[in-house]
Copies of this chain bind each other. A is one copy, B any other.
Amino acid sequence: MGIIDEAKRGQITDEMRAISKLEGIPVEKVRNRISEGKIMLIRNAKYPSRKLVPIGKGLTTKVNVNIGTSSEVVDLDMELQKVKVANKWGDTLMDLSTGGDLDAIRRDIIKASDLPVGTVPVYQIFIESFKKKSGGAYFTEDELLNTVEKHLKDGVAFMTIHAGITKDLAIRALKSDRIIPIVSRGGDMIAGWMIHNNSENPYRKNWDYVLEMFKEYDAVISLGDALRPGATGDAHDEFQIGELLETARLVKSALQKGVQVMVEGPGHVPLNEIAWDVKLMKKLTGGVPYYVLGPLPIDVGAPYDHIASAIGAAISSASGVDLLCYLTPAEHLGLPTVKQVEEGAIAYRIAAHAGDVVKLGRKARKWDDEVSYYRGKLDWENMISKLIDPQRAYQVYTQFGTPKVKACTMCGGYCPMMWAMDQVRKIGSSSSL
C-alpha cells in the first residue's frame, strides 16, 4: 500500500508526521493533500533517501540537480563531485548519464546521494539498443519495461516517463512548422521508436503495468513533456497543450490506483506566459505537483541560461510550481563542470526562495526579515552568516581588504545606514520634532 492509499484511508503515518514537521503545516493537511494527489513524497519506499523530500501544495519549492556522463565525457569522479554539490544545494538529483557503464554509474550515484535520485529509463535501453543492434529504436516494449524495473530495484525514486506523447502527436509535431520540433531527448527517443516501429507509445500500451511497478516501490512517475517548447516561439502551441491533455488523463488514472505522480513542464516560454502555464496545468491535472525546467524566457542567453532561466523559475515557483529543474551555465552548449553545477544550483535556490516568499508569505520571508534586520543594524557578522552563501559572501565583503569603518567598501564612511542610525538617535532625544 502506498502513501496515497494510506492517506485515502485516513491514516496518519510517521512519514506524514515527518513531512508536517519539516514543512510546518498540520499533519491532517498533509494527509488530505496526499489523498488528493496534491502532495507527493519523492521516494522509493524500499530504498529511502537520507533526505526527506515532499513536494506540493503549501510546501517549499524544491530544486532538482541534473548530473550524468555523456557519450563523449565519462568521468565518474567528476559526477560524484557533482553529487556532493547536489547534496549541499539541491533537493532531488537526476542521473542523466548516457556514457560509460550506466548500471554501475547509477548505482554509485545513488549510493553517494543524500537526495532521492531520478532517471530517464528510455535513455539506457535506447543506448543499449544502439550499441547492440546498431539502431536506437530496435528495443522491445519488454526491454523498456525491464529497464524501468531495474531502476526501481536499484532504488530510483522518480523517473521521467514520456507517456503523454501519442504517435499522432509526434508525427504532427515533426511535420509542423515549429522552430524546433522536438527538443526532449527521451521524448525524441520515444517518438523515434513509435515511428520506426509504427506503433503507439510503449508506455501507453503498457500503462497499467507501469502503474503496478511504481506502486510496488511507491516511487513517483514524472510524466515527461516530450513536446515541450524548445524555443520561445514554439510555446503553448497545439503540440504542447495536446500532450498536456493526454498527460492530465494519465495523471487521473495513476491517482485512482494510488500511484504517486507529477507532471513535467517547459522549457522555453515567454515571461508573460509562465504564470498561466502553471495555472492551466494545475487546473487540467487536478493540482498534482508540477516539475518544470525553468522555464527559460529567452533563447539567446547561453552561457548564462542559469540566470535567464532563474527568472522563469522564480515566476513559476511563485505561480505554484513545486519542483524546479535547474539549468547550468553549460545548458545548450555541453556538459557542465562541477563549478557550473554549483552555479546553476545556487541560482535555482535563489529562484525557489523568491517564489516561496510569494507562495508561503511571511513563513518564507522570516529569513529575509532576519537578514535585513542585521543589515539595518550594520551587524555584518550576523548578516553575512545568514545569507544564502556566507562563505562566498565573506570573500566578496573582504575582496579589497577588511573594511576599516563599520560599513563596507561601497560607501565607506558615507554609509546611509550609519547616518540613519544617527538620525534615529537624534530624533529620539529631541522633543521639538
Q: What residues of chain A have their CB less than 8 Å away from a CB belonging to chain B?
A: 70-73, 98-99, 123, 126-127, 130, 136, 171, 174-175, 179-185, 187-189, 191-192, 195-196, 230-234, 268, 270-272, 297-304, 306-308, 310-311, 314-315, 318, 329-330, 332-335, 337, 340, 346-347, 350-351, 353-355, 357-358, 365, 367-369, 371-373, 375-376, 384, 386-389, 392-393, 395-401, 403-405, 408-417, 419-420, 422-424, 426-427, 433
- A181 → chain B, closest Cβ, in Å? 5
26 contacts between A and B (CB under 8 A): A70-B409, A71-B412, A72-B403, A72-B404, A123-B414, A180-B372, A180-B417, A184-B416, A185-B411, A188-B416, A188-B417, A188-B419, A188-B420, A188-B423, A195-B427, A230-B376, A231-B372, A271-B315, A297-B354, A299-B368, A299-B371, A302-B388, A303-B392, A330-B396, A330-B399, A334-B396
Beta-carbon contact of B299 and A372 below 8 Å: yes
Within the oligomer, what is the number of copies of this chain? 2
What is the CA–CA distance of A166 and B303 in the complex, to the nearest angstrom? 46
Answer whether A233 and B369 are a contact pair too, CB < 8 Å, given A357-B271, A358-B272: yes
Beta-carbon contact of B416 and A233 below 8 Å: no
Given A181-B376, A333-B410, 10 other A-B residues pairs in contact with their CB atoms under 8 A = A99-B412, A126-B414, A171-B427, A195-B427, A271-B314, A302-B388, A307-B307, A307-B310, A311-B315, A330-B410
Mostly, the A contact residues are helix
Answer whether A335 and B302 are a contact pair too, CB < 8 Å, given A180-B420, A419-B189: no
Q: Choose among B184, B232, B415 the residue that contacts A368 (Cβ–Cβ < 8 A).
A: B232
Q: Choose among B136, B272, B353, B420 the residue that contacts A181 (Cβ–Cβ < 8 A).
A: B420
Q: Choose among B192, B297, B314, B335 the residue that contacts A409 (Cβ–Cβ < 8 A).
A: B335
Residues on B with C-beta less than 8 A from A415 are: 185
Answer whether A354 and B420 are a contact pair too, CB < 8 Å, given A185-B414, A303-B396: no
Residues on B with C-beta less than 8 A from A413 are: 71, 130
Residues on B with C-beta less than 8 A from A314 are: 271, 297, 311
Beta-carbon contact of A179 and B304 below 8 Å: no
Among A232, A300, A365, A419, which residue has the most Cβ atoms of chain B within 10 A? A300
Beta-carbon contact of A298 and B414 below 8 Å: no
What is the CA–CA distance of A389 and B337 in the complex, to the nearest angstrom? 19
Beta-carbon contact of A180 and B375 below 8 Å: yes
Among A311, A371, A399, which residue has the most Cβ atoms of chain B within 10 A? A311
Beta-carbon contact of A417 and B233 below 8 Å: no
Beta-carbon contact of A231 and B272 below 8 Å: no
Beta-carbon contact of B195 and A365 below 8 Å: no
What is the CA–CA distance of A191 and B419 in the complex, to the nearest angstrom? 9
What is the CA–CA distance of A73 and B182 in the complex, to the nearest angstrom? 52
Residues on B with C-beta less than 8 A from A304 are: 346-347, 350, 388-389
Residues on B with C-beta less than 8 A from A395 are: 303
What is the CA–CA distance of A106 and B433 in the complex, to the nearest angstrom? 38
Residues on B with C-beta less than 8 A from A191 are: 420, 423
Beta-carbon contact of A231 and B376 below 8 Å: yes
